[in-house]
Copies of this chain bind each other. A is one copy, B any other.
Amino acid sequence: MQALMQDRPLTLPHIFHRAERQFHDKRIVTTTLRGEVESTYGEWASRVRRLATVLDELGVPEGARVATFGWNTQRHLELYFGVPCTGRVLHTLNIRLFAEQVAYIAEHAADDVVFVDRSLLPVLWPVADQLTTVRYFVVLDDGADSEIPDDPRIRDYEDLLAAAEPFRGRFEITDENAAAAMCYTSGTTGQPKGVVYSHRSTVLHSLVSLTVDAVGLSERDVMLPVVPMFHVNAWGLPYSAVFAGTSIVFPGPAMQPEALVSMLERHRVTTTAGVPTIWMGMLPLLGEHDLSSLRVVVGGGAAIPTALSEGWREAIGIPITQAWGMTETSPLASVASPRSHHDGLDAEALIEVRSTQGQAAPLVELRIVDMDTGQEQPWDGATPGELQAAGPWIASSYYGDEGRDAFTSDGWLRTGDVATMDEHGFVRLVDRTKDLVKSGGEWISSVELENHIMAHENVAEAAVIAKSDPKWTERPVACVVAEPGSGLTSEQVLDHLRERVAKWWLPDEVWFVDELPKTSTGKFSKKTLRERLLD
């Protein structure tokens, strides 16, 4: 029997028109090279309407990819809606990649137009001719003095907007499964692969971030997305914010810890999100600022070292809330806020809970699977398995049908992460399949070793990688960045571990390095470490 409900697709125009009418006077602040610029949802919406006309005038076909190469700004948010609400596909390029990688990705996606911040033009322009499908480079002038090439493909964003009549009707997308946006994985473990989000997946994902047990974004929040808008759509938070009517503070290029802390304080920010390296950089500054407005600090993209989260908690009263996700999962898949069954736990135990990757968000399903037999593993908090995910905002395949082995025959995503799950479904990531250390037939968790090492007061950063071993197949090696001037020794590191892990987990060697190589999204790049150290 069919139901008798209205057939209303879940599409971004709903979020746009809702915000335009209900939240027109809410604030949007952007830090630019010329200082902070204040605006409102109302002004933003009327610019989105002009942008719609601009895209028509540039002759961008339906379904074509419109790329962005920019900081977190209001203009970027205009593209976030103007592009998909008119049936095109937003493609956010990662500004931290090598230009050649950017060119590879833009070619792969066959981008039709690129919108680029003027301050980033010098990064992109050298490879412009390799972007063979791109017809226009539209420059968003952020006050940088970078030279603007005299080239027929160059256009100025503000000129185009100023000349365009605003689209006056209602944006309509009839197929909720149409592509809205695409993003490439960050390339920590391999070549970046393209993930294509739908209107439906984006709306559902945005909605779940408004639920209390996920991020709980509301109209009363002030949100500062530190996570870049090219990094899985800033974890979807800009879409969620517009859905809820949340005020937004965009940091623009001001990504230095001092600048960020000052914005959090001055704008009474309640909600912020970013990768651990960002929170690490800000930690020493917290004491000097009034951050009492903060309600939740979301950390993800890589494991949050316990010491870091506790450092925040000691400094400002709230820990970092860990979330886990991937480009392939839109990305919000699980959040580690303690549940009522954790009430009454002591401080130590609560730290343990917060160090997990949390419980699956609504509409997401997670399971762990034995890597050899493919058997589903019990949720006993001990047995590890490859983490697999299903749900309406989880990828079913990659663009161009690459990487087919990332999907199981029953349609689940193989995440490449290795985890245990407890009886309530709390996930603990113990490794990535490509980083696992297999010693004498048993797995050693590099993540757990790293966590313990990083808890040592004289350790700044640490990563554990596998070294091949004739007897044990593989043995762990710790790569450690010592706090300057601490005189930390290998023996001290190993002594510290001896009290905390089984003897056969102890790294065979401790290598001191000046810094750990990072990927374009700020994660430790073990791939690079292995290449450098094991050759």
Contacts and interface: CB of A to CB of B under 8 A. Distances in A.
Interface of A: 1-8, 10, 14, 17-18, 21-26, 63, 89, 177-180, 195-201, 203, 207-208, 210-213, 216-220, 243-245, 339-341, 359-360, 362-363, 365, 379, 390-399, 411, 413, 423-425
Contacts of A363: 8, 10, 14, 203, 207
21 contacts: A1-B89, A2-B198, A3-B196, A3-B200, A4-B397, A4-B398, A6-B396, A8-B394, A18-B362, A18-B365, A21-B379, A22-B424, A23-B424, A203-B363, A207-B208, A207-B211, A210-B212, A210-B362, A211-B218, A212-B212, A216-B216
- What 10 pairs across the A-B complex have the smallest Cβ distances? A3-B198, A1-B63, A212-B218, A210-B211, A4-B196, A1-B179, A3-B179, A5-B201, A6-B396, A22-B425
Contacts of A196: 1-5
B195 A4 contact: yes
Contacts of A365: 14, 17-18
A6 B198 contact: no
Contacts of A218: 211-213
Contacts of A379: 21
Nearest to A423: B24
A216 B210 CA distance: 9
A179 B4 CA distance: 8
Given A22-B425, A208-B207, A362-B210, A411 B6 contact: yes
Contacts of A360: 18, 22
Contact of A393 (B5, B207, B339, B390): B5
Given A5-B392, A207-B362, 10 more contacts: A1-B63, A3-B179, A4-B399, A6-B395, A7-B396, A21-B425, A207-B207, A220-B339, A220-B340, A245-B339
A177 to B, nearest CB: 6
A179 to B, nearest CB: 4
Contacts of A395: 4-6
Contacts of A424: 22-23
Contacts of A217: 212
Max count, chain B CB within 10 A of own CB: residue among A5, A89, A411? A5
A398 B213 CA distance: 35
A238 to B, nearest CB: 16
Contacts of A341: 25
A3 B340 contact: no
Nearest to A175: B2
A306 B4 CA distance: 35
Residue of A3, A243, A245, A413 with most chain B CB atoms under a 10 A cut-off: A3
Nearest to A391: B8
Nearest to A211: B210
Contact of A197 (B3, B216, B392, B413): B3
Nearest to A339: B219
Contacts of A201: 3, 5
A365 B19 CA distance: 12
Contact of A8 (B7, B14, B392): B392
B1 A392 contact: no
A200 B14 contact: no
A6 to B, nearest CB: 4
Contacts of A212: 210-212, 216-218, 244
Of listed A196, A210, A423, residue having the most chain B CB within 10 A: A210
Contacts of A220: 339-340
Contacts of A208: 207
Nearest to A209: B211
Contacts of A18: 360, 362, 365
Contacts of A1: 63, 89, 178-179, 196
Contacts of A10: 363, 392
Contacts of A3: 177-180, 196-201
A375 B213 CA distance: 42
A22 B340 CA distance: 12
Given A207-B211, A217-B212, A219-B340, A396 B5 contact: yes
A399 B2 CA distance: 11
Contacts of A399: 4
A505 B339 CA distance: 54
Nearest to A200: B5
A413 to B, nearest CB: 8
A339 B25 CA distance: 12
